[in-house]
Amino acid sequence: MAEQPRVWPEEYGVVFALGMCSGEIKGKVKLNKALALLQRDGFPIRNKFKNAPMGPHDAKIDTTAQEMEKDHLISIKEEPTTYDKNRISYRLKREGQTYLEDDFREQFAFANNQPFSLALLENFKKTQNNVLTLKTTKLVEQVHEELGLDNEGNLRHDIGQVRGALGQESFIAEKGVDPSCPICLEVLGSLDFAMRSLDAMLESEKRWFTTGWQDSGKSFILFSALRLIDYSKEFRRHQHNLDVRLNKDDSISLMRSRVLLRLHCIEYNGVLYDLIHPFQITDDEIESCDELRA
């Protein structure tokens, strides 16, 4: 199995989120959303989020931020607002900026030479723009919509529904496959891995069923699975290529990167949240997953 991406120290995730947002994030909710979205989209954030009324939340972030303030990496300030409660603002101090820059190359080693690096950067820019420009209420609404947190119904039904959609898309995609085309094989392999991952989640349902939607990892995996279906549909009429490295079409390169990023996200979040175990997916499937990312 390929080496898993290193998991960032908790303080580096907070520093990175602040650096992403020009050194300041206003509000606990926005800081939690920034870290949760980065984790959902493949960054090695180590927090264990729970789905709350305001979206994914981890109480440990408060503790981490307070420790970082003691280490003079950030400053935490309570500011008055037009609402009843004051708002907590987080600012990156000069020492924090130095820490961010000094460790950047090492902490970002997980993305070096990865075929999903284009999509990783794309999602970074999207999250950066949303956290910087959207009001907190709008950001929360968007996260709820993207993760389906307001959907009625039970978790098993939702997982089964997405599993069925993956199977249907895989069946359609397989009809147009060219065995000599790496992109065809990558898309089919990613769909297959997503299906088997959801199967593994359902098989281990008794371990986590009582928490329902509480663990955000389940929502993150379903989000990535649904994105895979969308990307597969866009690839249905792609031009077949014998060697992806010879493909000069930037749009194809980006689409391929998006597919492989979602493959990575499903695996990373599945392992992080203890939803998918290596023994639940066969060695052949693991090797296939590794070959896709090579």
Same domain, 67 and 193: no
Q: What is the pTM of this model?
A: 0.87
Same domain, 86 and 26: yes
pLDDT for res 253? 85
Residues near 53 by beta carbon (within 8 Å), at least 6 away in sequence = none
Residue 83 lies in a domain: yes
Which of the four pLDDT bands, split at 50, 70 and 90, describes residue 45? Answer: very high
164 pLDDT higher than 80: yes
Q: Which of 111, 135, 163 is the last residue of a domain?
A: 111
Helix (H, G, I), strand (E, B) or coil at 135: coil
- Tens digits of residue pLDDT in 16-37: 999 999 999 999 999 999 999 9
Residue 119 lies in a domain: no
- Tens digits of residue pLDDT in 57-87: 999 999 999 999 999 999 999 988 776 678 8
pLDDT for res 86? 80
Same domain, 166 and 80: no
**In whole angstroms, how far apart are CA 39 and each of 47, 98, 266, 268?**
8, 23, 11, 9
Residue 56, domain extent? 10-111
Same domain, 188 and 287: yes
- For the purposes of burial, counting CB atoms within 10 Å of the CB of 253, is it exposed (0-12), middle (13-18) or buried (19 or more)? middle
Residue 3 lies in a domain: no
Same domain, 104 and 178: no
- Tens digits of residue pLDDT in 243-283: 555 455 578 888 889 999 999 999 999 999 988 875 455 44
Does residue 141 or residue 286 have the better pLDDT? 141
Same domain, 267 and 161: yes
Q: What percent of the chain clears pLDDT 90, i.e. is strictly above it?
A: 57
Same domain, 276 and 172: yes
pLDDT for res 8? 81
Q: What is the mean pLDDT of residues 124-137?
A: 95
Q: Name the domain count of the chain.
A: 2
DSSP secondary structure of 167-190 = HHHHHHHHHT--TT-HHHHHHHHH
The CATH number that applies at residue 35 is: 1.10.10.10
- Tens digits of residue pLDDT in 116-128: 999 999 999 999 9
Residue 232 lies in a domain: yes
Question: Which of 8-12, 33-37, 106-110 is predicted least confidently?
Answer: 106-110
292 pLDDT higher than 70: no
pLDDT for res 81? 74
Same domain, 97 and 221: no
Same domain, 101 and 159: no
3 pLDDT higher than 70: no
- For the purposes of burial, counting CB atoms within 10 Å of the CB of 267, is it exposed (0-12), middle (13-18) or buried (19 or more)? buried
pLDDT for res 286? 43
